[in-house]
Amino acid sequence: MNPIAHSPHAHAPITVSRVMLLVMLALTPATLFGFWLYGWPAINVWVVSLLAALAGETLILRLQQRAIRPVLMDGSGILTAWLLALSLPPLAPWWIAVLGSFFAVIISKQLYGGLGQNPFNPAMAARVMLLISFPVEMTTWATPAPLGSTGAASWLDSLAVTFVGAHVDGMSSATLLGHVKTEFTRGIELQQALSGYYAPLDALWGHRGGSLGETAALLLLAGGVFLIYKKIITWHAPVAMLLGVVVPALFFSSINPAHYAGPLYHLLSGGLMLGAFFIITDPVTSPNTATGQFIFGLGCGLLTWIIRTWGGYPEGVAFAVMLMNAATPIIDHYVRPRIYGRNRRGVSMSIEPAKKES
Amino acid sequence: MKLFKLRGGVHPQGRKELASERAIRVLPMPDRLFIPLQQHVGAPAQPLVKVGDHVLKGQLIAASQGFISAPVHASTSGRIVAIGDYAAAHSSGLAAPTVTIASDGDDRWLETDSPSDPFSLSPEEIAARVGAAGIVGLGGATFPSAVKLSLSRKNNVRTLIINGGECEPYITCDDRLMRERASDIIEGVRLIRHAVGAVDVMVGIEENKPAALLAMRAAASGTEVKVIAVPAMYPMGWDKQMIRALTGCEVPADGRSADIGVLVHNVATAYAVHEAVRFGRPLVSRLVTVSGGAVAEPGNLVVPIGTLVETLFQYCGGFSEKPARLVLGGPMMGSELFSAAVPVVKGTSGVLALTAREIGSTQAAPCIRCSSCVRACPVGLLPLEMAAHIRAGNSNAAVSRGLKDCIACGCCSFVCPSHIPLVHYFNFAKGELMEQERGKLKLEATKKLADERMARTQRIEREREAAAAKRKAAREAKEAAAKLTQTITEAA
């Protein structure tokens, strides 16, 4: 006999793989911009990351003797690798991408029990691992050399960069955040450090040195708005994270503009936009309730600003996200929706006849 | 009128257009009717007829038992051919006590008295007539209406809300009833108001039923009944949701709506009250929506209680394609039917034959904690956490997260991108808890019996000892006396 089909006998037209596909769609403009801006090496890094994630997931599932096909088809591994690739330097060698993807899907995800079980965002965990273990490779940034321009690496050159570790002259530069941090250590003031290095309009479009897909602030913002419109994510965490950066930046820069950068500088630098709309909205590692997500986002933003401003690393998004991931269970423990007919502590409302004027 | 903010809810595809424009039709009287004795919440009714008896339409065939129960009446005139178990309208497919009537084809009503002016009746008399007519909540809850009426009067209910939400997809019977029998419904509403002494009367109708709103507004003009459009969303027809939308008040979790001075009845119940009080007609038929993608000609039928579901499908032209699933009630909360050879009961608002495409469910995948279910839950629960605890075999942890407040509306399962059968988990855990509670009661009863037995044996033992001691004392006394006599004799 058939098992009893349980109500509801209707379902919203949504699946996990559709969610993942929509997120990938939202990432596509910023990714294509990264491909264009940094040329073939960037494409290589992206392709290698995705292939490595598929291979790594196949390997671990085989070892665990679990069904491979449904896991690969849900798209979560590919999305993780995609996000990781966007946070890597475009000139990264192939093994950085492979190691990162393997770490993300095998150690950060499948060893915890697979999709939905990991406490830390796999892409950010992999990025932090790479940054700590291979600081040189992870901070060698490319000067923008758009495809088709004279400075762009040809496809064959790019293979040498990615797979042989060839160094191309004039291709590397520092990121804005890295540059400012270095200048600070030399005792140079902010305005001076920024001059000639920071053009807000370029930063808005993303025409600057940086990670593969983190620089195009506007395109990332558009992708995020698309996801909010599609009801895949809500505004709470992203808006809170941006506020968490903007509010202290505004406050401190108005007190001491010589040392503290303003909000626009922070908004348009590093991985903030990618983090706010695509990383901290990862449902698995963020709280369940709207209020919880707001607190989570605010924490991510504040920690990012603190690490950027006072920490040893120029960029803090990945660290901030992991720290707040660790706080997710406790946020979920304390922040719960109020149940109908009960107060916030879960006690039933008093059974008093309603006092209503007639 | 100002409406109050609601939490959660979903917007499933309505699919009401399948049946909403089909006018009410009366199903021809079937040859046989299978009338279950329990069609309501509470104790089953006690049969009053024997096999071979001839009954008239509306004649009492089973009387209500106890405080929370409802009587059952013959849905047509004819002969009782069987009293015994028959498959019930339930997904278990188990049999339940049922009275079977073979129709004599006359469909002759029992002569009853009906008041010339029902509003001259006392509130108690109205409640008594509603109770005698076997009226139960026709929205699906099937709670005996008369019990609600008398409780509400005792609790000084001031606000009467008539629920015209009908938020379940496909189901259109209340919609059609409001369009075609608006003035009868309004009179029923006013009778209920009279019976409970309510001050405010509001009829809440979802705004996706403009024709019903129009008809009800026209019928209510000049009366104290206010007809109010409420947002179209599921579960708008949840009585507590309707209360929140119209009054802004919430029913305490440990209480009833009467505790905040509100009584809620369904529009179809109001219509049945009108029929019972105005014409003395007990509840022997109801309006049922027959719909679904597999039904050739969906529609809304007046169906005698006890008609087999398969008769309804046959009357609606049979199936245009093979249905993937038969559902009793709406798709959100209805239960699957394994056989269409089960009778329509008082709580049956619809029968659906759904195609595989309409069901659209796939294999369950891991939870990605997207919290769509948290946003969808109208109660304010955390379905994903509760389900995780139940999966781990820890139903009690789910209780501490509000399992008992779950209304099984299905919003969480509906929106889940991983297609996790959340409601199934919750119902399983609720069943398990019930089992636990029953086990605890049984244990307590056993313990009580054992304690009593122990006390009894101890008492007997004590009594025996006391008797023995008494005997011994008597013997000793006797011996002592004998010794004394002997001593005295010896001394003498």
Greater pLDDT, A288 or A142? A288
Task: Report the Cα B425 to chain-centroid distance in Å.
Answer: 21
Identify the closest residue of chain A to B156 by CA–CA distance: A353
Measured between alpha carbons, how far is B406 from B411 in angstroms, rounded to an integer?
11
* pLDDT recorded at residue A358: 36
**pLDDT for residue B89:** 86
Average pLDDT (A135-160) is: 80
Q: Cβ distance A80 to A282 under 8 Å?
A: no
Residues 262-281 of B with CB under 8 A from A: 262
How close does chain A come to B148, measured CA to CA in Å?
16
Enumerate the residues of chain A whose CB falls inside 8 A of the CB of residue B378: 340
What was the pLDDT predicted at A1? 41
CA distance B344 to B304: 8
Sequence-ordered strand ranges (E) for A5-60: none
CB B368 within 8 A of CB B387: no
Residue located via tokens 């479009």 = A205
Which among B12, B250, B332 has the least Cβ separation from residue A340?
B250
List chain A residues with CB under 8 Å of B375: 234, 290
How confident is the model at residue A352, as a pLDDT? 59
Q: What is the pLDDT of residue A154?
A: 80
Chain A residues whose CB is inside 8 A of the B255 CB are 341, 348-349, 351
Strand locations in chain A, DSSP E? Answer: 141-142, 172-173
Q: Which residues of B touch A290 (CB under 8 A)?
A: 375
Does the structure show a pLDDT above 80 at A193?
A: no
Percent of residues, chain A, with pLDDT higher than 70: 93
Burial A13-48 (b: 16+ CB within 10 A, else e): ebbbbebbebbbebbebbbebbbbbbbbbbbbbbeb
- Residues of chain B below pLDDT 70: 361, 492
CB contact under 8 A, A340 and B423: no
Tell me the pLDDT band of A168, cut-offs 50, 70 and 90: low
Residues whose CB falls within 8 Å of the CB of residue A326, separated by 6 or more in sequence, listed in order: A119, A120
> How many domains, in total, are found in chain B?
2
pLDDT band at residue A356 using 50, 70 and 90 as cut-offs: very low
Rounded to whole angstroms, the Cα distance separating B269 from B375 reads 32
B385 at A interface, C-beta within 8 A: yes
C-alpha torsion angle, residues B47, B48, B54, B58 (rounded to 10): -80
Residue B276 sits in the same domain as residue B185: yes
* A74, A76, A340, best to mutate vs chain B, most B CBs in 10 Å: A340
Of B158, B360, B402, the CB nearest to A339: B402
What local confidence, expressed as pLDDT, does residue A144 receive?
81
Q: Is B288 found in the same domain as B142? A: yes
Is B292 at the interface with chain A, CB within 8 A?
Answer: no
Asked if B162 and B251 sit in the same domain, the reply is yes
Q: pLDDT value at position A170?
A: 53
d(CA B77, CA B8): 48
Nearest Cα neighbor of B266 from B199, B195, B185, B198 is B185
pLDDT digits (tens, 9 = 90+) for A199-254: 766 777 777 788 888 888 999 999 999 999 999 999 999 999 999 999 999 999 99
Q: How many CB atoms lie within 10 A of CB B480?
A: 10
**Selected residues 173-202 of chain B with any CB under 8 Å from a CB in chain A:** 199
Amino acid at A33: F
Taking CB atoms and an 8 Å cutoff, what residues of chain B touch A16?
365-366, 368, 417-418
- Answer yes or no: do B397 and B254 share one domain: no
> In this predicted structure, what is the pLDDT of residue A181?
77
Give the domain CATH number at B133: 3.40.50.11540
* Nearest chain B Cα distance for residue A148, angstroms: 41
Contact B366 A11 (CB under 8 A): no
Q: Is residue B450 part of a domain?
A: yes
Nearest CB partner across the interface for B254, out of A2, A340, A348: A348
Q: Is A199 helix (H, G, I), strand (E, B) or coil?
A: coil
Q: Measured between CB atoms, which of A16, A114, A356 is closest to B417?
A: A16
Q: Is residue B95 part of a domain?
A: no
Residue A3 predicted with pLDDT over 70:
no
Q: How many CB pairs under 8 A join A and B?
A: 176
Q: Considering only CA atoms, which of B349, B12, B336 is closest in space to residue B163?
A: B349
Cβ pair B252:A284 closer than 8 A = no
Which of B245, B274, B300 terminates a domain? The answer is B300
User: What interhelical angle do A317-334 and A122-133 show, nearest 10?
Assistant: 140
Q: Do A11 and B155 touch (CB under 8 A)?
A: no
SS3 B276: helix
Contact state of B255 with A341 under an 8 Å Cβ cutoff: yes
> From the list B249, B335, B380, which residue is nearest A337 (CB)?
B380
Same domain (yes/no): B229, B141: yes
> Percent helix, strand and coil across chain B, each rounded to 5?
40, 20, 40
What end-to-end distance do the CA atoms of chain A give, in Å?
58
Q: B230: which strand partners?
A: B206
List helix spans (H) across B343-421.
356-359, 372-376, 383-391, 395-400, 411-415
pLDDT, position A355: 45
Disruptive mutation site among B243, B367, B371 for chain A (greatest number of A CBs within 10 Å):
B371
Let me know whether B269 and B377 are in one domain: no
What whole-number distance in Å separates Cα of residue B468 and Cα of residue B478?
A: 15
Residues of B in contact with A4 (CB under 8 A): 91, 336
Q: Which of A151, A150, A199, A187 is nearest to A172 (CA)?
A: A151
Q: What angle is formed at CA B125 by the lines to CA B119 and CA B128, rounded to 5 degrees?
A: 130
User: How far apart, in Å, are the Cα atoms of B442 and each of A183, B113, B428, B452?
Assistant: 78, 48, 21, 15
Half-sphere exposure at residue B198, Cβ-oriented, CA atoms within 13 angstroms: 29
Residues A220 and A12: their CA atoms lie apart, in Å, by 28
Task: Please tell me the predicted confidence (pLDDT) of residue A190.
Answer: 77
CB atoms B405 and A354 under 8 Å: no
Q: Which of A6-15, A142-151, A235-244, B119-128 has the lowest mean pLDDT?
A: A142-151
Residue A5 is given by DSSP the state P
Higher pLDDT, A186 or A168: A186
CA B125 to chain centre: 24
pLDDT band at A19 (very low <50, low <70, confident <90, very high): very high
The two tokens of residue B71 are 């009587």
Provide the residue ranges of all domains of chain A, joining segments of one domain with +. Answer: 16-334
Residue to substitute from A1, A2, A4, A7, interface B, most B β-carbons within 10 A: A7
Residue A315 confidence (pLDDT) above 90: no
Half-sphere exposure of A251 (CA within 13 A, CB side): 10
Give chain B positions within 8 Å (CB) of A70: 363, 365
Selected for mutation to probe chain B from A2, A4, A6 (highest B CB count within 10 Å) is A6
CA distance A338 to chain B (A): 6
Complete DSSP assignment for A260-306: S--HHHHHTSTTHHHIIIIITT-STTS-SSHHHHHHHHHHHHHHHHH
* Prediction pTM value: 0.87
Instruction: Identify whether B387 is part of a domain.
Output: yes
B333 interaction partners in chain A (CB closer than 8 Å): 7-8
- The single residue listed with the structure tokens 């027959």 is B290
pLDDT for residue A172: 62
Q: Per residue in B447-480, pLDDT tens?
A: 999 999 999 999 999 999 999 999 999 998 888 8
| CATH architecture, domain A16-334 | Orthogonal Bundle (1.10)
pLDDT of A167 reads 67
Q: How many CA atoms lie within 13 A of B378 on its CB side?
A: 25
Residue B56 contacts A where some CB pair is shorter than 8 Å: no
Considering only CB atoms, A353 lies closest to which of B156, B358, B379, namely: B156
Nearest to B195 by CA among B287, B288, B121, B88: B121
- Cis preceding linkage at B235, omega within 30: yes
DSSP label of A75: -
More confident residue, B488 or A52: A52
CB count in 10 Å sphere of residue B156: 13
Examine the fold and report which residue of B268, B300, B332 is the final residue of a domain before the chain moves on. B300
State pLDDT tens for residues A58-117.
999 999 999 999 899 899 999 999 999 999 998 899 999 999 999 999 999 999 999 999
- Domain of B139? 16-28+116-300
Facing A283 at nearest CB: one of B253, B262, B368:
B368
CB pair distance less than 8 Å for B253 and A342: yes
Q: Is B392 on the interface with A (CB under 8 A)?
A: no
Domain boundary, last residue among B267, B300, B333: B300
On the question of pLDDT at A15 being above 50, the answer is yes
Q: What percent of chain A has pLDDT over 90?
A: 59
Kindly state the greatest CA–CA separation across chain B. Answer: 124
Rounded CA separation A146/A90 (Å):
12
Q: How far is CA B211 from the centre of its chain?
A: 28
Spatial CB neighbours of B101, under 8 Å, sequence gap ≥ 6? B32, B33, B35, B55, B74, B75, B76, B78, B79, B80, B81, B306
Put simply, the chain B residues between 422 and 441 with a CB less than 8 A from any chain A CB are 423-424, 427
Least CB–CB distance from B379: residue in A340, A348, A358: A340
Contacts of residue B158 in chain A, CB cutoff 8 Å?
354, 356, 358
Does B424 sit within 8 Å of A288, measured CB to CB?
A: no
